[in-house]
Structure 1
Amino acid sequence: MTQAFSKVTAIRGMNDALPGSGARWEQLEEVVRQWLSDYGYRNMRTPILEHTRLFTRGIGEVTDIVEKEMYSFTDSLNGESLTMRPEFTAGMVRAAIEHNLLYDRPQRVYAMGPVFRHERPQRGRYRQFHQIDVEALGLPGPDIDAELIVMVARLWKALGITDVQLEINSLGQGQERSAHRAALIEHLEAHKAVLDEDGLRRMYTNPLRVLDTKNPAMQAMADSAPKLFDFLGEASRAHFEGVCARLDDAGVAYRLNPRMVRGLDYYNLTVFEWVTDKLGAQATVCGGGRYDGLIELLGGKPAPAVGFAIGMERLMDLWGQYQPEVAKAECSVYFVHQGEQAQRKAALLAEGLRDVGISAIVHAGSGSFKSQFKRADASGAQIAVILGGDELESGTASVKMLRAEQSDALAQQQVPLDNLVVYLKDKVN
């Protein structure tokens, strides 16, 4: 006796996009690709799997991602440690170094796709999620930092999103961070009694991240901590002021957030986040900044870089609050038929429609006219084309408008088969 196979479900935190929502994803991706093209950014695609050391080196060994969230495993064939990418930047920088992309000019590149982090699934935070990642490699000035931020403001406008706020900060350069780090450790040591387990663990390894705590008991301590911004030298301040001046030029409002540190070790100078109160606890929709040391850190020649990432699931959630999802039609024309000869003729006519850019579905199999019309209506098609024995004999097709908003809805026209494609081309919106 064959044992029944138990139902297999998706892994927790890894979600399906079904046909209805899949159309929404395609719509968003189309908007995003056009937006990026308008600024001269070109698509880059990197592997999902990378060597684990790329992320431990690039992201930082004492970050949440590396310590707790990476999907890593040992390759059984060669014993190498591999990791499913938890973010795009390290892999894109690795590709730029490996293929000498910065040999003769800077690069404006982007990627879209899945990334993986092992964390507790909740709204806007999943184990497999998707990112839009945008990187400007080889460009050093505040002008490109500001351009990236202004770019994101334009995306919000394109999607009709209004309730997002920009927060910015500067992390300065290495020497400035070292001076701040010493003062910060001294401050943390003086307030050791209020630090939670995570704060105590990071006090000496990554003290800046202690300030990013969400623990209410530590907020007063974090608010009174030495601010990195106060340790910035003249060059770092000039860079930041250059970014702010260009944001002012573009009319992009912003708020200085001296506690913003971002969750990755590679940032320097400008960091920024776009936040909202419409997504519950997951307030950040977009985050990024400058990471001038990463290319050299990963083995390339020293070169500046800046970029940002947008979580697509969060963006979809936010966008849906402004522009509710509208079901996308499966096709423009649906062929209803009776008999094998009519079905074969419908298949040929449908190919003719596709040749001129009109989407069409030919009802599969047989069925009564009533059941086929029911399926035609459910498809969202604007028009049904009816072919039966009488139509084939007379060399015509019956054309019925299915949508009430069409002026000749409910009317049924007889159209010569030889003229059907031309006739429908004029009727399909």
Structure 2
Amino acid sequence: MNDILPSDVETWQFLEREAHRIFKLYGFAEIRVPVVEKTELFCRSIGETTDIVEKEMYTFDDRSSNSLTLRPEGTAPVMRSFIEHKLHALDPVSKLYYMGPMFRYERPQKGRYRQFHQIGAEAIGVDDPMMDAQVLAMLCHYFDAVGIDNVELHVNSLGCQECRPQYRQALTGYLESRLDKLCADCQRRYQTNPLRVLDCKVPACQEATKDAPSVLDLLCSGCNDHFAQVRQHLQELQIDYTINARMVRGLDYYTKTTFEMVTNQLGSQNAVAAGGRYDGLIKELGGPALPGIGFAMGVERLVLMKGEQQVQPPRPDVFLAALGEAAGQKAFALMYRLQRLDLRAEMAFTGKSLKAQMRRAGKLNARYVLMLGEEELASGQAQLRDMDNGSQEPIALEGIEQALLEKTRGN
């Protein structure tokens, strides 16, 4: 687990702020759910044979011997809340988004921690392929808005309850003939969760499964038509994509459309956002039989991808450099009035020399410095220095708040 220091927080806030802005443009509303849920929620939704449930969840008993788990992902808790509060009764179509910490006990690596953060979105109640395309369009819009352009959209279809068993049987038969070439994990899960073998990052497993049967060859007519329409809508929106028939998701609830935003910047952990359809999940959790589609983005990975484009903290509008006790008291009161006008104002609280205060103003990258001493108090005029061009001019103390507001907002 890691700390997010002030030097990084501006980038985090920028990524979160753009998510709020972009998602609301598409009609999504924010939802906030607890970080702790009943363990059975994740066993039912994610799947008991997934790596997350088998090896990665932080699970414990509370004082009443209830088994609780720190949420390893966001979709299941959002669906639990959706069902519990009967949100479908308020509107047959629900579009929700969330952001916050998730927890998985796994090997830390670049861009991945045991406490990590996700920004995600869920669209519930529409099975039309056009909704798939809109969710993908919103995701692409977000990446454009935050200035991350070295990513590619990969799409696939995992079929449905009608056609996936046929593919699962074909894949299991293929893997049986190559068991000796698979890693220990894949040998263990090839029968319980064979699709995960295709996602293994071990080079020997990738080589052994390079000719595995494609799920796209065994889709039923309904799933095949749905996927074709999704691709057609993406083309209508002029959104570039790549079909990746090997792409699977680590959670059991996905059906039909699945997708990832991938990059070559983060080593083997190349997915910075991923998601798909989960048309049977809400019913499985005890709710109505409603379709859904969603995605989640790893914020730590987004921050890594921003790299040298890290967002800098806003510069102070004015730094108040005061000399003497009376000037210090005047500057302190003035700073508060300026802050109430939404100006970023700073001052030195210790009686440092003017030179030291100017160095501090320069370190903070202040736009203006207001110099105030005994002479300025007596004359009713302070000195205002423009730190960008070095010019200096007198400014009346009477009505100075409005004057500074006009100067800073005019630049």
The interval holding the TM-score normalised by the smaller chain is over 0.9
Q: Is residue 42 of structure 1 aligned with residue 22 of structure 2?
A: no
Change (3 A) 1:196 1:325: closer
Deviation string 1:161-184 (CA, Å, 9 cap, x unpaired) is: 332111111111112111222222
Residue 347 of structure 1: how far off its partner (Å): 2.2
Residue 104 of structure 1: how far off its partner (Å): 3.5
User: 1:104 & 1:239 partners in 2: Cα distance?
Assistant: 28
* Partner in structure 2 of residue 6 of structure 1: none
Q: Is the 8 A contact 1:332 1:380 kept in 2?
A: no
* Partner in structure 2 of residue 94 of structure 1: 80
Q: Is residue 352 of structure 1 aligned with residue 337 of structure 2?
A: yes
User: 1:411 & 1:171 partners in 2: Cα distance?
Assistant: 65
Percent identity reads 43
Residue 143 of structure 1: how far off its partner (Å): 0.6
* Partner in structure 1 of residue 406 of structure 2: 426
* Partner in structure 2 of residue 301 of structure 1: 288
Residue 330 of structure 1: how far off its partner (Å): 4.7
Deviation string 1:266-299 (CA, Å, 9 cap, x unpaired) is: 1000001111112222211111000011111111
Q: Is the 8 A contact 1:329 1:379 kept in 2?
A: no
Matches within 5 A, 1:7-156: 14-75=1-62, 77-105=63-91, 106-156=93-143
Matches within 5 A, 1:350-429: 350-403=335-388, 409-428=389-408, 429=411
Change (3 A) 1:23 1:326: closer
| Counterpart code for 1:113 | G
Among 322, 335, 338, the residue aligned to 1:337: 322
Q: Is the 8 A contact 1:211 1:259 kept in 2?
A: yes
* Partner in structure 2 of residue 406 of structure 1: none
Q: Is the 8 A contact 1:101 1:107 kept in 2?
A: yes
Q: Is the 8 A contact 1:329 1:381 kept in 2?
A: no
Q: Which moved more, 1:158-167 or 1:255-264?
A: 158-167
Q: Is the 8 A contact 1:328 1:380 kept in 2?
A: no
Q: Is the 8 A contact 1:199 1:210 kept in 2?
A: yes
Residue 397 of structure 1: how far off its partner (Å): 1.9
| Counterpart code for 2:334 | L
* Partner in structure 1 of residue 253 of structure 2: 266
**Partner SS, residue 413 of structure 1:** strand
User: 2:143 & 2:113 partners in 1: Cα distance?
Assistant: 23
Residue 346 of structure 1: how far off its partner (Å): 1.3
User: 2:227 & 2:305 partners in 1: Cα distance?
Assistant: 29
| Counterpart code for 1:80 | N
* Partner in structure 2 of residue 8 of structure 1: none
Matches within 5 A, 1:106-255: 106-255=93-242
Q: Is the 8 A contact 2:197 2:205 kept in 1?
A: no
| Counterpart code for 1:42 | A
Q: Is the 8 A contact 2:322 2:331 kept in 1?
A: yes
Q: Is the 8 A contact 1:166 1:273 kept in 2?
A: yes
* Partner in structure 2 of residue 5 of structure 1: none
The size of the alignment, in residue pairs, is 408
| Counterpart code for 1:411 | S
Q: Is the 8 A contact 2:14 2:311 kept in 1?
A: no
Deviation string 1:390-419 (CA, Å, 9 cap, x unpaired) is: 22222222211222xxxxx32322211112
User: 2:255 & 2:195 partners in 1: Cα distance?
Assistant: 13
* Partner in structure 2 of residue 278 of structure 1: 265
**Partner SS, residue 162 of structure 2:** helix
Q: Is the 8 A contact 2:201 2:268 kept in 1?
A: no
User: 2:353 & 2:144 partners in 1: Cα distance?
Assistant: 48
Deviation string 1:364-405 (CA, Å, 9 cap, x unpaired) is: 2322222222111111211111222222222222211222xx
What are the ranges of 5 or more consecutive residues in structure 2 without an aligned counterpart? none
* Partner in structure 2 of residue 9 of structure 1: none
Residue 117 of structure 1: how far off its partner (Å): 1.3
| Counterpart code for 1:276 | T
RMSD: 1.6
Residue 100 of structure 1: how far off its partner (Å): 0.7
| Counterpart code for 1:371 | A
Q: Is the 8 A contact 1:73 1:81 kept in 2?
A: yes
Residue 248 of structure 1: how far off its partner (Å): 0.7
Residue 326 of structure 1: how far off its partner (Å): 5.1
* TM-score, scaled to structure 2: 0.95
| Counterpart code for 2:378 | E
**Partner SS, residue 247 of structure 2:** coil
User: 2:381 & 2:64 partners in 1: Cα distance?
Assistant: 66
Residue 197 of structure 1: how far off its partner (Å): 1.1
Among 283, 305, 323, the residue aligned to 1:318: 305
User: 1:206 & 1:164 partners in 2: Cα distance?
Assistant: 28
| Counterpart code for 1:148 | V
User: 2:125 & 2:353 partners in 1: Cα distance?
Assistant: 64
Residue 348 of structure 1: how far off its partner (Å): 2.1
User: 1:215 & 1:25 partners in 2: Cα distance?
Assistant: 32
User: 2:261 & 2:6 partners in 1: Cα distance?
Assistant: 30
User: 1:94 & 1:328 partners in 2: Cα distance?
Assistant: 38
